[in-house]
Amino acid sequence: MSARGALLRLEQLEVVYQKVVTAIQGVSLEVAEGQIVALLGSNGAGKTTTLRAITGFLGVDDARVTDGRVWFEGRSIENQPPQLVAHQGIAIVPERQKVFETLTVTENLEATVPGAGTTRAEQRRRVERVFEHFPRLHAARRRLAGYLSGGERQMLAIGAALLCTPRLLLVDELSQGLAPRIVENLLERLVELRKELGLTVLLVEQSAHVALQVADHGYILENGRVVLDGTPQRLREHKDVQEFYLGQAGGGERRSYRDVKQYRRSRRWYG
C-alpha cells in the first residue's frame, strides 16, 4: 500500500462475543503513517467491534480477539488493556458518551492532559493549543460539556483525544447526527491536524459521502468481512458503492439499498 509501511495493521482478525457470536471474521486492513483511512459499512457490519479490538475495549462486553493479529508500530497489541493501548499512542473519539458531561469544557481537557512528566505550565499550554484548533471551544470553555451542541461535543472529543498525543486517531462516526456544514468543518480540521501534527486517522463511518471526501484509502465492511477496498476514486466508481453507499442508482431510478441489499450484494461480491 505505502512504501513507508503500515502504522496499524489488522491481520485476519476475528472477534467472538460471549464465546459464541462471531462479530468479525478475517478482517485485514492497513493504515499507513500519515494517511486518513476510511472504514465504511452499514449498521452491524462490525465497524465498532473492529475499533474495540484495536483499543482493547472488547473485555467490557465479554468479547475477545480469538484469531488474527493487531499490529501497531510493529508490536502486536490485541487483547491488551485499554490504558496500555492509550499510552502507546492510540486515541479514540467514541461514537457515544465522548465527553465528561458533568465537567466543564476546560475540565474535560485538563482531566485528559497527562500529568506525569510535564509541568503545570506545559499542561496549560497544551490545553491552549486545543483552543487554538477549535476556537468555538474556547468561547464555551466554562460551560458544562453536557450542555454543548453535537458539533461542539465532537470538537471537544477530538481535542481531548489530541491531548493524549496520539500517533493514531480513531474516530467512530464523525458525522452522526451533525449538520452537513459542521461535518465539512470538522473534516477540514482533521485534514489540517494531520498535516500539522503528522497524525494518522482511521475514520469509521456509515456515510461514505463524508469519509471518501478526505480519505486516502477506504475499506468496506459487511457482515464482519472486508468486501472491498481501494482508493476513494476506485470505490466511487464501483457500481455497488454508488448504489448502496452513495445513493446513485446505476440504472436511472433510485432504489433504497435495503430492498436489494442482501441479494444483489452477495451476487456481485461473492459470486
Partner 1 sequence: MQTVANIAVLVAIYALIGSGYVLIYRVSRVLNLAQGELMMLVAYLLFSLATLFGGHPASALAGAVLLSLLVGLVLYVVLMRRMTGELVIAAVLVTIALGILLRGLMVLVWTGQMARPLEKLGWQNSPLALGHGVALSSVAVTTIFVAIAIYVGLFVFFRYTAWGVRMRAVGENPLLAAQRGIKLHVAYAMAWALATFSGGCAGMLLALDSGLDGTMAIIGLKAFPVVLVGGLDSLRGAIVGALIVASAEVLAIQLIDPLVSDVVPFVVLIAMLAVRPWGLFGTEEDIQRV
Is 43 an interacting residue with respect to partner 1 (CB under 8 A)? Answer: no
- Rule CB under 8 A: which of 119-148 touch partner 1? 123
Q: Which stretch binds partner 1 (CB under 8 A): 103-111, 190-198, 237-245, 249-257?
A: 103-111
Is 150 an interacting residue with respect to partner 1 (CB under 8 A)? Answer: no
- Rule CB under 8 A: which of 71-90 touch partner 1? 82-83, 86-87
Q: Minimum distance between the CB of residue 207 and partner 1, rounded to whole angstroms?
A: 23
Any idea of the CA torsion for 87, 24, 17, 202, to the nearest 10 degrees? 30
- Looking only at the bridges linking them, the beta strands covering 217-222 and 225-230 are antiparallel
d(CA 23, CA 47): 10
Q: Which stretch binds partner 1 (CB under 8 A): 8-16, 57-65, 196-204, 217-225?
A: 57-65
Residues recorded for the chain:
271
Any idea of the CA torsion for 45, 50, 53, 54, to the nearest 10 degrees? -170
Residue 52 to residues 37, 79, 99, 193, 251, Cα–Cα distance (Å):
17, 10, 18, 23, 38
Q: Minimum distance between the CB of residue 87 and partner 1, rounded to whole angstroms?
A: 6
Is 159 an interacting residue with respect to partner 1 (CB under 8 A)? Answer: no
How many residues touch partner 1 under the rule CB under 8 A: the total is: 31
d(CA 245, CA 41): 8
CB nearer partner 1, residue 55 or residue 175 = 55
Question: How many C-beta neighbours within 10 Å does residue 253 have?
Answer: 6
Which one among 110, 133, 230, 249 touches partner 1, defined by CB under 8 A?
110
Which one among 114, 150, 177, 250 touches partner 1, defined by CB under 8 A?
114
d(CA 172, CA 92): 8
CB nearer partner 1, residue 119 or residue 254 = 119
Q: Minimum distance between the CB of residue 129 and partner 1, rounded to whole angstroms?
A: 16
Is 155 an interacting residue with respect to partner 1 (CB under 8 A)? Answer: no
Q: Minimum distance between the CB of residue 270 and partner 1, rounded to whole angstroms?
A: 36
Is 12 an interacting residue with respect to partner 1 (CB under 8 A)? Answer: no
Is 108 an interacting residue with respect to partner 1 (CB under 8 A)? Answer: yes
Is 197 an interacting residue with respect to partner 1 (CB under 8 A)? Answer: no
Classify residue 100 as exposed, middle or buried by CB count within 10 Å of its CB (0-12, 13-18, 19+). Answer: middle
Give me the numbers of helices (H) and strands (E) for the chain, helices first please.
Answer: 11, 10
**Closest C-alpha to 161, from 261, 250, 91, 85:** 91
Any idea of the CA torsion for 182, 184, 188, 193, to the nearest 10 degrees? 50
* Interacting residues with partner 1 (CB under 8 A): 55, 57, 59-60, 82-83, 86-87, 91-92, 94, 97-103, 107-108, 110-115, 123, 160-161, 163-164
